[in-house]
Amino acid sequence: MVSVQNSVTVDSLNGELWSKQRAEKLFTLPFNDLLFKAHTIHRENFDPNEVQLSTLLNIKSGKCPEDCSYCPQSARFDTGVEVTPVLDMETVLESAKAAKAAGATRFCMGAAWRSPKDKDLDAVVPLIEAVRDLGMETCVTLGMLNDMQARRLSNAGLDYYNHNLDTSPEFYGEVITTRTYQDRLNTLENVRNAHIKVCSGGIVGLGESVADRSELLRQLANMPAQPQSVPINLLVRVEGTPLAGANEVHPIDFVKTIAAARIMMPKSYVRLSAGRTSMSDEAQALSFFAGANSIFYGDALLTTDNPLVVADNELFRSLGLNASPSNEN
């Protein structure tokens, strides 16, 4: 007789902090055990057939002073990315309305700034208010924020602020030298204190080890409050950036990272983020099974391509997935 094991020994911790050892252990589990655990936790907390859709718009492109070695928008790398001032209201609203009509519930505006100046916020605040008036959730990612700036965005009614940790504290210095890990944690603290929901995650494929992936997730999971949204990006290897030649990530290793994120942050929306154009439908399906329940939806990310909306709609149809209805997240 075959005995079927219906539980695995690593449990999510109720309110306790994740130790390094316990987090790393997730990555050593047999794949089926890891996925079973992650999917079980996913079902306990979410409708397993629902995916939240966020659409991105780059409202200020290129010429960023930072040296993030993955990023096509850094002024230090020759990537041919367009340089633009902040987009006007009409262009932003047209894009947000199209995103809403296509089924997105959240509109995320990104700007290639190290940190916004107060006059930059003068331009962004009306955009947040106008997108909000369309009945969409708003998210912006503008770089580092001080306490006052976070409060200003909160007063404008901003729902989410995206600011990624990107990788582990140990590996971070290999990727970015122009701002510290602590700078990032400080921004996230300012965002939390201003009662804006936190969207924070990282990138897989920078050349990091499995221990670094585990440590990134541990940093996120052990925050005073776990981020409401956790984007897991697969590196988009852009010609001209120092990481253009980075090694490919095996899809199974990517899915393991999604599963560990689900287990360590049971109630967070885990977003299958950049890099989907290089993923098979099967790898995406496994990611949804492992607990991903949000995507970037729309034909472009910030400067690079995303799967076409028609292709995503077809993928959803074949998997029996539904878009989350508006204002439930």
> What is the residue type of 221?
A
The string over 121-138, giving b where at least 16 C-beta atoms fall within 10 Å of a residue's C-beta and e elsewhere, is: bebbbebbeebbeeebbb
**Residues 43, 296: contact at Cβ < 8 Å?**
no
168 lies in the site for ligand SF4, by CB under 6 A: no
Q: Which of 206, 258, 265, 274 binds ligand DTB (CB under 6 A)?
A: 274
Considering only the stretches 27-35, 40-48, 95-103, 229-237, report the one whose residues sit in contact with ligand SAM under the rule CB under 6 A.
Answer: 229-237
Considering the complex, what minimum distance in angstroms separates the CB of residue 56 from ligand DTB? 6
Q: Return the one option of ligand DTB, ligand SF4, ligand SAM, none that residue 235 interacts with (CB less than 5 to 8 A, by type).
A: ligand SAM
Alpha carbon distance 196, 191 (integer Å): 6
- Please check whether residue 288 is in contact with residue 47, taking contact to mean a CB–CB distance below 8 angstroms: no
CA-nearest of 310, 313, 288 to 50 is: 288
Contacted entry of ligand SF4, ligand DTB, ligand SAM, none for residue 227, CB cut-off 5 to 8 Å set by kind: none
CA distance 270 to 231: 6
Report in angstroms the alpha-carbon separations of 323 from 128, 305, 326. Answer: 23, 21, 9
In degrees, rounded to 5, the angle at the alpha carbon of residue 150 between the alpha carbons of residues 144 and 155 is: 150
Q: Is 203 in the site for ligand SF4 (CB under 6 A)?
A: no
**Does residue 302 bind ligand DTB (CB under 6 A)?**
yes
The 89-118 site mask, x for binding ligand SAM (CB under 6 A), equals ---------------------x-xx-----
- Are the C-beta atoms of 262 and 42 separated by less than 8 Å? yes
User: Does residue 137 belong to the site contacting ligand SF4 (CB under 6 A)?
Assistant: no
Quickly tell me which residue has 């994740």 as its tokens: 18
**Residue 71 interacts with ligand SF4 (CB under 6 A): yes or no:** yes
Nearer to ligand SAM, 12 or 229 (CB): 229
Give the contact letters, 234-263, x = binds to ligand DTB (CB under 6 A), - = no.
Answer: --x---------------------------
State yes or no: is 179 an active-site residue.
no
Spatial distance between the Cα atoms of 28 and 80, rounded to a whole number of angstroms? 41
CA distance 135 to 132: 5
Chain residues in the site for ligand SF4 (CB under 6 A): 64, 66, 68, 71, 73-74, 112, 114, 143
Contact residues for ligand DTB (CB under 6 A)?
A: 56, 72, 110, 141, 162, 164, 201, 231, 233, 236, 273-274, 301-304
- Active-site positions? 64, 68, 71, 108, 139, 199, 271
Binding site for ligand SAM (CB under 6 A): 64, 70-71, 110, 112-113, 141, 143, 163-164, 166, 203, 233, 235-236, 238, 274, 302
